[in-house]
Amino acid sequence: MKTRTARVSIIGMGYVGLCTAATFASRGIRSTGIDIDQERIDQIHRGKTPIHEPDLDRLLKTAVKKKLLDGSTDISRITKTDLTFLTVGTPSRSDGSIDLSFIKSASENIGKALYEKQGFHTVVVKSTVVPGTTNGTVRPILEKTSERSVGVNLGLCANPEFLAEGTAIHDALHPDKIVIGSNDKKSTSQLIKLYRQFYRTKQPPILEMSPESAELVKYANNAFLATKVSFINTIANISEKIPGVDVGRIAEAIGKDIRIGPLFLKAGPGYGGSCFHKDLQALINYGKEHGYNPQLFQATEQVNNDQPGRIIEKAESLLGTFTDKRIAILGLAFKKDTDDIREAASIKVIDRLTDRGAKITAYDPMAIPATKKLLADRIEYAETPQTALKGADCAIMMTEWEQLRKLKAKDFQAYMKSPFVVDARRIYDPDEFKDLNYIATGFGK
């Protein structure tokens, strides 16, 4: 049988890399995913996703079955492809600045592999990196190890990713824009051609700019969204001081202004996940290193850091003390439809409650395995929301999963010991609780 070569290789099979590979394959673009984690690659071979994302399982299974997606730990496989996407992690160092060690080692491995390849090859930096990384860090490593030159026999672009966990597949298939930070015409036109093949008639706008601008677009995008979250949480905190004011109505009204828009205006426990906090910290650090202190983003982070404490205050005002109190935590993931607990407000709340003597039973439809890895037997885990509520002195709603949204006030009444609910997502109707003599307190009312 004639072997078909993959056109695209993707280094780093995490949220971004795997979703990119699976969506490319779903549109007939053969992709090879490379990771240093053998277990992850074995799972991909079995057509099983190592992360939870709606629709990813189905796309992955089909792609693997049709031999459109293949995983490997062997970096030399990239020499059989035309373009290599770099999607490794860019975590924070302890001071908040960006840790480029995965980018550096992956770039070195790519360069060494390309040394053995004939012909032009394009490398696309999709990971979130601070301005100057593509040209200042990736480029010299690639050029040195591959003995190639950008613009001659090596292409290099920055092409940040804007997908969000929980809607990653939808976002990858229907992005609002594609941003390409271009160094050389050939790699840019190769990348545009690939995206034309991918999106066919429904191509999103493609914005070409310098690599440094493209890198900054990603940070600006996330900083704006995070600031919007901290903004509405600030308004919620003020609303609580004013009798008769509900932040939901304020958000609804200001969201009608097209200059503001209705999204990301939901008061709650604050943003979490792998990106907003990490990217804001990287941007703040980058600004400071270059002689500018971005105070606005410091404030965005400060407001966000304070939100879990506000949940604790609400629970404390209901319970008096936490010692030996049983608290049900409803939802662990940082948002619904993901199993990701990185920077989740739930974990910060659990830490503070257990430090003060509370006994926790937590429910989440997806994130219990990840939480068990982090918290082990410091808390108890429930298989249903009802089991978590059983005998609880207080319930704290943390993640807006549909299963939890469906709970009625009478469900709480049927299982709990005391009538106290802190609704950090504002999803329950407080009037329904009032009828049962339950106190349900949310943000911003």
Q: Which is nearer to ligand NAD, 163 or 223 (CB)?
A: 163
Beta bridge pairs of residue 308: none
Q: Which is nearer to ligand NAD, 273 or 444 (CB)?
A: 273
Q: Which is nearer to ligand NAD, 274 or 441 (CB)?
A: 274
CB of 38 to ligand NAD, least distance (A): 10
Neighbours of 157 (CB within 10 A): 27
Three-state SS for 154? strand
Q: Which is nearer to ligand NAD, 142 or 394 (CB)?
A: 142
CB of 238 to ligand NAD, least distance (A): 31
b/e sequence 337-375, b meaning 16+ C-beta within 10 Å: bbbbbbbbbbbbbbebbbeeebbbbbbbbbbbebbeeeb
Which of 65, 54, 86, 68 lies closest to 22 in space, CA to CA?
A: 68
Q: In what order do the strands lie in the sheet with 31-34?
A: 69-72, 31-34, 8-11, 83-86, 121-125, 154-158, 178-182, 206-209
Residue 122 sits at φ, ψ, to 5 deg, of -110, 135
Does 275 qualify as catalytic in the annotation?
A: yes
Q: Which is nearer to ligand NAD, 229 or 250 (CB)?
A: 229
Burial class (CB in 10 A: 0-12, 13-18, 19+), 395: buried
Answer positive or negative: Cα dihedral of 56, 223, 180, 135: negative
CB of 392 to ligand NAD, least distance (A): 32
CB of 95 to ligand NAD, least distance (A): 17
CB closest to ligand NAD, residue no: 14
Cα distances (Å, whole numbers) of residue 24 to 10, 65, 123, 184: 11, 15, 16, 23
CB of 388 to ligand NAD, least distance (A): 27
Tell me which residues touch ligand NAD (CB under 6 A).
Answer: 11-17, 34-37, 40, 87-90, 102, 105-106, 109, 127-128, 161, 163-165, 274-275
Answer positive or negative: Cα dihedral of 314, 320, 324, 328: negative
CB of 308 to ligand NAD, least distance (A): 21
Q: Cα–Cα distance between 74 and 241 in angstroms, integer?
A: 59
Give first-to-last CA distance, the chain, whole Å: 67
Catalytic residues: 275
